[in-house]
Structure 1
Amino acid sequence: MSNPVKTAIIGFGVAGKFMHAPFVKTRPEQYDVIAVLERHQKESATLFPGAVIARSIEALLAIEDIELVIITTPNETHFPYAKASLLAGKHVVVDKPFTITSAEAQELITLSQQVGKVISVYQNRRYVSDFLTIKRLLHNKLLGDVHEFEAHYDRYRPEAKPNAWREEPAPGSGILYDLGAHLIDQAFYLFGLPQEVTADIRLQRPHARTVDNFELKLGYGFTKVILKSGMLVREPGPRYMIHGTLGSFVKYGEDPQEVYLRAGKLPTEVENWGQEDEQIFGTIHTDLSGHVFNEKYPSIKGDYGYYYENLYKTIREGIPLRERPEHAFNVIKLIELAEESSKEKRTIACTGFIAAAYPRD
């Protein structure tokens, strides 16, 4: 017997429409969207014809039946909307980045514990094909001990995107908070919390008003992690280059989910959702028990929807939360440390993190 979580979505722009709505829409036994906050439009009615369209956060949170609120609005609203939702007795999902400051993140963690409600950040890039594949590859020690891990999340946007709040000079804007939040979370998941960070953060394009290029070097002693992103990369190189004591793994190409979503496709409408084409499988070159392998390594099928499957089990069954707010706090803390490192042009010791285990399955 199904017991769907009565859900509201705050905001129905790109994130709400393409990154969240499809995965609750296609899980009717787990989620029932009963309200959507849209200030002026009614676009959500296509996917959720029976949902109330609220015009203000106050009107939406006044709907008592709502159990879960999904916040997909601009970054500066994440903290006040999440706080208001917790105080209204709702569980909360916040699109990344969790907050703009670590102090705000800590306040939300404390408040969620006080009111006894779940709060989580939507780290959907844990459920892309390449990351799931890398996680298995490293778990099985196919490269030996990793000494260098380099990850890229690059784009080519030489011109300013009109009306793009992420490119405005406001707190929490720019690609360090946007794309960087994904790369940092992945690094922490695989390697834990670093000892130090050395950052180079730039406004690279002539018209840039906020960060559009960064390189973070995270020190783990023996292991070096390099995270890079830029907006002037017309011909992308490998997304991942991983080198260990036994071998290397190099991966080009992009998980196909976002392309389908932005084309308006639901996960139920695409055969083999999240499965990469064999042409972009990564290459592994390693030595296992004296046998040298240099060949394609099949990618695991990705699915952003795993996030919402896991969240449902937490809310309804009490299964431990996988995307914990402490993880999100640590991402924001690292961003703050990286900004300090770049400004002072020096390596910064990483302190102030919250100890929080990551799931290993």
Structure 2
Amino acid sequence: MRTIKTALLSYGMSGKVFHAPFLELHPGFKLLGAWERSKKLIQADYPEVISYPTLEDVLASDAELIVVNTPIDSHFEYAKKVLQAGKHAIVEKAFTTTVAEAEELKALAIEKGLKLSVFQNRRWDSDFKTVKKIRDDGVLGELVDAEFHFDRYTPTLSQKAHKESVNDGSGILKDLGPHLIDQALFLFGFPQAVHADIRITREQSLIDDSLDICLFYHDFRVRLKAGFFNREMIPSYVLQGRKGSFFKARGDLQEDELKISKKPNLTTWGTEDANLKGILHTEIDGEIIRKNIPTLQGNYYDYFDGMYQSIITNSIEPVTAQEGINVMKIIEAAIKSNTEKRRIEF
């Protein structure tokens, strides 16, 4: 099996939690190291790798694939340098800060014959995979409404300065928004119009921390909501069809387990607590049923395996640059809608 030498552009929470464990698990990748500006942490977890002192050192290495997992407002600059250096790239969400930047990166990757993918890992969450199966199975009939939430109760400001300072990549719309938007577009395609209400709700916050986006399709609506004042959680996924309903709580365990240094595997990883089963209430073959639906297993490994296959076999990326562009189009439309207080048509 050919191995793809891979490097990270940071080893903070993202590198330590979402990338390095799966690059280590997958036999097709070899983690070379990470660019570490001040804190030198990666060698404590992976003694054999390199702590690169500069970006130039990473670009000059023999890495074939580089993960751009730095703050959002740096994604375009760093991803462009990665591609110009002839390396494949995985870029964290939000892909960039503007549609124009995202389109430029896509064009550069095509010109160079390189793979470029956006790390939309929440497609491989256990809860979302279950929602997708319910939709695909058609047990709700024609969909009328859908509602996705990414709710938390964290009324205080983050200790991470880049998350709370005003810059082109800060705010909930570009932090949690890409997860919700990507999931909606993945399930339902690109909408006809967008309306958004984006607010600041926390005391002393300088950035948007509450969003309510409505995506308009020809025959149904999708509402995406996220905020920090949700002490009592409601279902994170709600599908309403002409035959029935499906409710599912956000229950994927992967992030929480990765944060406490649990190592992923290919058998039991991403298995939700049985108490978090979804509720299906619908009509099947003339019979009204209401029952709990077991949750599918989630695993971010599948994203990395998709990226491996994409590079080795020249197949499509697990999340394409165009899909990243489409998310940015919704984000830009949401900003315009909120500013102009109107629905934005595509």
Which band: TM-score by shorter chain? Answer: over 0.9
Matched, 1:39 2:58: no
The count of aligned residue pairs is: 346
Match of 1:200 among 185, 188, 197: 197
Matching residue of 2:13: 14
Amino acid at match of 1:116: G
Matched, 1:218 2:195: no
Matched, 1:160 2:157: yes
Q: Deviation string for 1:184-242 (max 9, x for gaps)?
A: 00000111000011100001112111010000000002110000000111111110111
Shift of 1:271: 6.8
1:241 and 1:136 map into 2 onto residues whose CA distance is 13
Amino acid at match of 2:17: F
Matching residue of 1:121: 118
Structure 1 residues without counterparts, runs of 5 or longer: 351-361
Q: Deviation string for 1:217-272 (max 9, x for gaps)?
A: 0000211000000011111111011100110001124201111011111103x972
Matching residue of 1:338: 334
1:148 and 1:169 map into 2 onto residues whose CA distance is 34
Kept in 2: contact 1:25–1:47 (CA 8 A): no
Matching residue of 2:3: 4
1:288 and 1:114 map into 2 onto residues whose CA distance is 50
Q: Following superposition of structure 1 onto structure 2, how do residues 1-361 of structure 1 map, counting pairs within 5 Å?
A: 2-27=1-26, 29-63=27-61, 65-268=62-265, 272-350=268-346
2:252 and 2:141 map into 1 onto residues whose CA distance is 26
Structure 2 residues without counterparts, runs of 5 or longer: none
Identical residues among aligned pairs (%): 40
Shift of 1:288: 0.7
1:271 and 1:46 map into 2 onto residues whose CA distance is 27
Q: SS of the residue aligned with 1:267?
A: coil
2:95 and 2:144 map into 1 onto residues whose CA distance is 30
Shift of 1:76: 1.0
Shift of 1:24: 0.4
2:250 and 2:75 map into 1 onto residues whose CA distance is 31
Amino acid at match of 1:222: D
Shift of 1:176: 0.8
Runs of 4+ aligned residues of structure 1 deviating over 3 Å after TM superposition are: none
CA-atom RMSD in angstroms: 1.2
TM-score by length of 2: 0.98
2:160 and 2:333 map into 1 onto residues whose CA distance is 29
2:14 and 2:315 map into 1 onto residues whose CA distance is 26
Shift of 1:164: 3.4
1:329 and 1:182 map into 2 onto residues whose CA distance is 14
Kept in 2: contact 1:194–1:218 (CA 8 A): yes
TM-score by length of 1: 0.94
Shift of 1:128: 0.4
